[in-house]
Amino acid sequence: MKLMDNRDRVGSILILLFSFFYLRFIFEIPFDPTAGDAFFTPRTLPTGLAVLTIVCAFFQLFLPVKTGEELSLRKAVEGFEWMPMISLLLLMLVYSLSFNFFGFAVATFLFLLGGFSILGERRLKVSISVAGGLTLFMWGVLTQLFDLYLDSGSLYRLVLGGA
């Protein structure tokens, strides 16, 4: 079995590398020492996602599902449209850089609107309602259910004068 002979294996290797890179930075998330033995901390969800992704990628890497025709990597990327993928990667970079300025709600809303636009959704009302609803849902789950603090951003403090 060659590792680079199949698009699924190459994808699994890339996901594994990203997951280990992501897992390494999880330990830089500030930990509240006053939380004691709290079951859910700011590191819990990212750690769980990283470990689950690593396990799934290992299964995909070492136990590949055989289909009728195995595509080589060269044939798999032939005719692939690279611009949407590159645009989404750049949008994710802008999202991560703008998070401190805009805060969770505004940055996430704008990120989702940008993503919908890149992926070809042209119905503005649908995009706004889905992005707004999903942002509010995630804000509610993270702040109310898991009691996590999400920064409102420098823009909010600048406009409203909050601390």
Higher pLDDT residue, 29 or 117? 117
Determine the structural domain holding residue 98 and report its residue range.
81-163
Q: In the structure encoding, which two tokens stand for residue 36, read together?
A: 């004691």
**Whether residue 51 sits in one domain with residue 88:** no
Q: Enter the pTM of the model.
A: 0.67
**Whether residue 112 sits in one domain with residue 88:** yes
Q: Which of 27, 61, 80 is the last residue before a domain boundary?
A: 80
**Whether residue 16 sits in one domain with residue 62:** yes
Secondary structure element (H or E) that encloses residue 34, with its range: none
Highest mean pLDDT among 38-47, 63-72, 115-124: 115-124
Of 138, 85, 84, 81, residue with least CA distance to 107: 138
- Nearest-angstrom CA–CA distance, 77 and 100: 36
**Whether residue 127 sits in one domain with residue 53:** no
**Whether residue 133 sits in one domain with residue 123:** yes
**Whether residue 163 sits in one domain with residue 93:** yes
Could you tell me the CA-to-CA distances from 65 to 8, 9, 52, 62, 68 in Å, in that order? 9, 11, 19, 10, 10
Of 121, 120, 122, 115, residue with least CA distance to 92: 115
**Whether residue 137 sits in one domain with residue 90:** yes
Position 73 scores a pLDDT of 65
Whether the CB-CB separation of 114 and 123 falls below 8 Å is answered with no
Domain count across the chain: 2
**Whether residue 105 sits in one domain with residue 67:** no
Buried b (16+ CB within 10 A) or exposed e, 117-130: ebeeeeeeeebeee
The answer for 36, left when phi > 0, alpha when psi is -120 to 50, beta otherwise, is: left
**Whether residue 85 sits in one domain with residue 74:** no
Whether the CB-CB separation of 99 and 156 falls below 8 Å is answered with no
**Whether residue 163 sits in one domain with residue 105:** yes
Task: Tell me the three state secondary structure of residue 102.
Answer: helix
**Whether residue 94 sits in one domain with residue 61:** no
Least confident window among 18-27, 62-71, 81-90, 92-101: 62-71
Q: Which of 64, 80, 96 is the last residue before a domain boundary?
A: 80
**Whether residue 132 sits in one domain with residue 109:** yes
Position 162 scores a pLDDT of 60
Q: Which of 51, 80, 109 is the last residue before a domain boundary?
A: 80
